[in-house]
Amino acid sequence: MKRTGILLYGVACYLVFFATFLYAVGFVGNLWVPKAMDSARETSLVAALLIDLGLLTVFALQHSVMARPAFKRAWTRLIPESAERSTYTLLSSLALILLFWQWRPLGGIVWDVQSPVARALLYAGFAFGWGLVLVSTFLINHFDLFGLRQVWLQFRGRPYQSLGFATPGPYRLVRHPLYVGWFFAFWCTPTMTLTHLLFALMTTAYILVAIRLEERDLVAALPGYAEYRKQVPMLLPRLRRKSAWTSTARTARG
């Protein structure tokens, strides 16, 4: 029964994550959802700014602190190790749901592109970004990243084995294609409001800090990552690379 319960818990956490991911597309793009990033302003500018900064800080702290190895070691004294990643996924999703629910638009326009061609290109960049995020997770094992592999292995009574280190597809061009996808998703918009600009600036700053923390952990955990970091750029691919990276193992990130 315990194995079944952990499996069902992991599946439930994943479903919450996936619904949150789909809502995030609509929230950032102001598409389809009942409350989007640029809904009508409800409070004063100062109050909205403070609330939004607080919500982004809550997400950043949860996402980064719970991802650190020291926290994971302490956390798994309280919960089954096989459920650690699912719990991280669930709490990250809940932090985002709180952000969607309590977000306060600021109003104001920074830019508003009118050219149909330029608007189409920006929407294409937006779609490309979300697609790159999703594809990147599958390249490094989507189901391990969000906890399903862990709960399935414990259900089968098999020990968990980390996936190791690899550089599939775009990981040979840049070390963090997933984060490149986020940048496209957050910055490619034909209408940039003050609200959207705040969100894009803060998430960009967070990602740049998170990369440093993540890579510190990866260098300590994965043989070969330090050399990979020397050869492959972080976010912007080189026009001419000195050498091709051909690692054949896998890596689980985050």
Kindly give the confidence (pLDDT) of every residue in the chain, 254 residues in length, as a single tens digit, with 9 standing for 90 and above: 688 999 999 999 999 999 999 999 999 999 999 999 998 888 899 999 999 999 999 999 998 898 888 898 898 999 999 999 999 999 999 999 999 999 999 989 999 999 999 999 999 999 999 999 999 999 989 999 999 999 999 999 999 888 878 888 899 999 999 999 999 999 999 999 999 999 999 999 999 999 999 999 888 888 889 999 999 999 999 876 554 555 443 444 44
Structure tokens at 245: 């990276």
pLDDT of residue 239: 73
Residue 104 within any structural domain of the chain:
yes
Range of the domain at 216: 2-231
pLDDT of residue 1: 64
Alpha-helix residue ranges (DSSP H) falling in the chain: 2-29, 45-65, 69-75, 84-102, 116-139, 142-145, 148-155, 177-187, 194-221, 225-231
pTM: 0.89
Domains contained in the chain, number:
1
Residue 64 within any structural domain of the chain:
yes
pLDDT tens, residue by residue, 196-240: 999 999 999 999 999 999 999 888 888 889 999 999 999 999 876
**How wide is the angle at C-alpha 18 spanned by C-alphas 24 and 101, nearest 5°?**
40
pLDDT tens, residue by residue, 11-34: 999 999 999 999 999 999 999 999
The residues, any chain, with a CB within 8 Å of residue 187's CB and separated by 6 or more, are 125, 200, 204
Residue 243 within any structural domain of the chain:
no
Question: Cβ of 48: how many Cβ atoms within 10 Å?
Answer: 20
Tell the residue number behind the tokens 């910055």, with chain if given.
Answer: 187
pLDDT of residue 248: 42
Residue 249 within any structural domain of the chain:
no
Residue 194 within any structural domain of the chain:
yes
Q: Are 228 and 247 in contact, with CB atoms under 8 Å apart?
A: yes
Alpha-helix residue ranges (DSSP H) falling in 66-193: 69-75, 84-102, 116-139, 142-145, 148-155, 177-187
Residue 217 within any structural domain of the chain:
yes
Residue 51 within any structural domain of the chain:
yes
Backbone angles phi, psi at 192, to 5 degrees: -95, 110
d(CA 59, CA 124): 27
